[in-house]
Amino acid sequence: MPTSSRLILGCMGMGSDWNGGAVTESHIAQAHAALEAALEIGITLFDHADIYKRGTAEQCFGELLRRQASLRDSILLQSKCGIRFADDSGPARYDLSGAYIVSAAEASLRRLGVEHLDILLLHRPDPLMEPHEIAEAFSRLRSAGKVRFFGVSNMQAGQMRWLQQALDAPLVANQLEMSLAKLDWLDHDSSFNDAQNATALPWADTLQYCQQQGIQLQAWSPLAQGAFSGAKSDSASPAQQATAKLVLSMAEQYAVSAESIVLAWLLRHPAGIQAVIGSTNPDRIRACAAATTIQMSREDWYRLYLSARGQALP
């Protein structure tokens, strides 16, 4: 895994729209403002997927790189493939066939206007995936100099073990939803051997496997769409409302933004999680800057955890 920042900029919000409309100067300007804010706070890894805004997110970012070619030498590019929209060939589906992985990666390279991806992740597990076929696709892309490293997204330990046995190089990352609003990854361990653990069982030893194998954990939606840092929602649970108030209190205590507190809680975990900030709002991106510098105490970490889960530990 190439060395990169603890914070990652998720580029899903860049581009035109989910119908794949034309990329305009306004879209490019929005992406440029987000990029500059990310660079300002030390972000070096930029996360894409071939499906984001029907490919226009990558196209938009590619235009930024075309206008500032030297930027490519100072950043890392990551993209994902394997989710297909409904088309003339079939319904919305997952596709990790070897041919599709290669064609999707090559299409991402064309849209980004670069010669290689630093990391390519398999976006979702495909029930029909064949490890040896995937291994062949990875080998083709690596030997052609089109992808340096490979990883997965939304996969549990058993799936990674099954895939890894066919590969000649280690998987380097696994991108999973983890946040104060998505706690099953923690509850699986803290509530083991208790009825509270029922909803967390699918995690099995995923967290431990990734740490043991040196697979970098990346958290998508770590800010939980602003649920704890200012977003108003009529559907917020009592636990979410109470936690949002606690986050604001801690933000004052640590003299940082609410966003930084939410992310610092995630980064405090010993797994060394990277957080993917999925925003194009420059102010919100900058608000995350202090997350990597906060020395959150064990007691404050548990205060947030217990508040968010809404019930005492077993």
**Active-site residue list:** 52
Residue 3's Cβ-count burial label (10 Å; 0-12, 13-18, 19+) is exposed
Which residues, at least 6 apart from 44, have a Cβ–Cβ distance to it below 8 Å? 4, 5, 74, 75, 76
What is the rounded CA–CA span in Å between residue 214 and residue 209? Answer: 8
> Cα torsion at 153, 157, 161, 167 (round to 10°)?
20
Q: 80 pairs with which residues across the strands?
A: 121
What is the rounded CA–CA span in Å between residue 96 and residue 236? Answer: 36
Residue 218: φ, ψ to 5°: -120, 130
To 5 degrees, how large is the angle CA 278–CA 266–CA 38? Answer: 35
Residue 285: φ, ψ to 5°: -65, -45
Q: Residue 100 corresponds to which amino acid? A: Y
Is residue 196 within 8 A of residue 314, CB to CB? The reply is: yes
Which residues, at least 6 apart from 245, have a Cβ–Cβ distance to it below 8 Å? none
What is the rounded CA–CA span in Å between residue 83 and residue 296? Answer: 37
